[in-house]
């Protein structure tokens, strides 16, 4: 089963504990191998330490793939990705991450892992990467005054994704502007501690915080729509979510 869990954000792994427990459940393993990709953070070692402490408590064997710090061989990269039951991508600079992934062939390997049923997940940059496009703050890492940009992801989900929809003030107005110039697709905006769980061609919204919401955002002609995506226990057709039809 092709599986993606994209999380809108959160201050710590503990903030998203119910979502993370669901990620582990989706692996269908009692002790799943979890591979962490901290590329977007510049391979911050403390980031992996935090993930390992959290997910080890939920039965995971945690490993990390440092692409910047260690510059591993292609064979090592491929082996780590193929051995993972869960691949978790951390937050940070999405544009830099995608550029390096393509250079090292990680993009192709992640698509293969997706086809083979590996659970793909992450938050912020680690949620944007699974979509066709993302609303990204990548420029702000070098210039805090810079605006948000549209970045390309792996296109496993044919939509644009915006994380941190409630916690960063510029996200809402900028997404509205960005979608005006983005044709043919909708945006899925997630507040912190909210996630979209996708299983093959079905989806549902899950959250770790009361009132954490997901939104479907799009333009149709000169009309702008921002619709709350209902959180339900049952799964719904993904095609309906990604359509501009109402």
Residues labelled as active-site residues? 124, 164
- Name the phi and psi angles at 226, rounded to 5: -135, 105
Cα angle 143, 41, 67 (rounded to 5 degrees) comes to 125
Which tokens go with 213? Answer: 């919401």
Q: Which helix (H) or strand (E) holds 224?
A: strand 223-229
Q: In what order do the strands lie in the sheet with 187-190?
A: 149-152, 131-136, 157-162, 187-190, 214-220, 223-229
> In 3D, which of 219, 149, 210, 216 has the Cα closest to residue 184?
219
DSSP lists the bridge partners of residue 121 as 5, 88
Cα angle 204, 205, 206 (rounded to 5 degrees) comes to 120
- Angle of helix 74-83 relative to helix 106-115, nearest 10 degrees? 20
Q: In this structure, what DSSP letter does residue 140 have?
A: G
Q: Locate all alpha helices (DSSP H) within 5-93, ordered by sequence.
A: 17-26, 45-56, 74-83
Is residue 24 within 8 A of residue 58, CB to CB? The reply is yes
């Amino acid at each position: 089963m092709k599986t993606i869990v994209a999380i809108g954000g959160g201050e710590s792994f503990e903030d998203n504990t119910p979502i993370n427990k669901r990620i582990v459940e989706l692996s269908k393993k009692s002790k799943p191998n979890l591979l962490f990709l901290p590329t977007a953070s510049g391979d911050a070692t403390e980031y992996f330490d935090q993930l390992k402490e959290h997910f080890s408590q939920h039965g995971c064997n945690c490993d990390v793939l440092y692409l910047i710090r260690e510059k591993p061989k292609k064979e090592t990269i491929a082996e780590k990705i193929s051995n993972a039951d869960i691949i978790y991508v951390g937050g940070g600079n999405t544009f830099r991450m995608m550029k390096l992934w393509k250079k090292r062939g990680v993009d192709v390997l992640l698509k293969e892992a997706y086809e083979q049923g590996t659970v793909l997940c992450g938050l912020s940059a680690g949620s944007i990467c699974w979509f066709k496009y993302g609303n990204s703050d990548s420029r702000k890492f070098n210039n805090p005054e810079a605006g948000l940009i549209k970045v390309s992801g792996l296109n496993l989900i044919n939509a644009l994704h915006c994380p941190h929809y409630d916690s960063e003030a510029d996200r809402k107005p900028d997404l509205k502007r960005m979608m005006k110039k983005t044709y043919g697709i909708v945006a899925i905006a997630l507040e912190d501690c909210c996630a979209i769980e996708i299983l093959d061609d079905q989806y549902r919204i899950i959250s770790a915080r009361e009132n954490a919401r997901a939104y479907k955002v799009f333009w149709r002609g000169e009309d702008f729509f921002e619709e709350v995506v209902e959180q339900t226990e049952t799964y719904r057709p993904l095609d309906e979510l990604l359509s501009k039809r109402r």
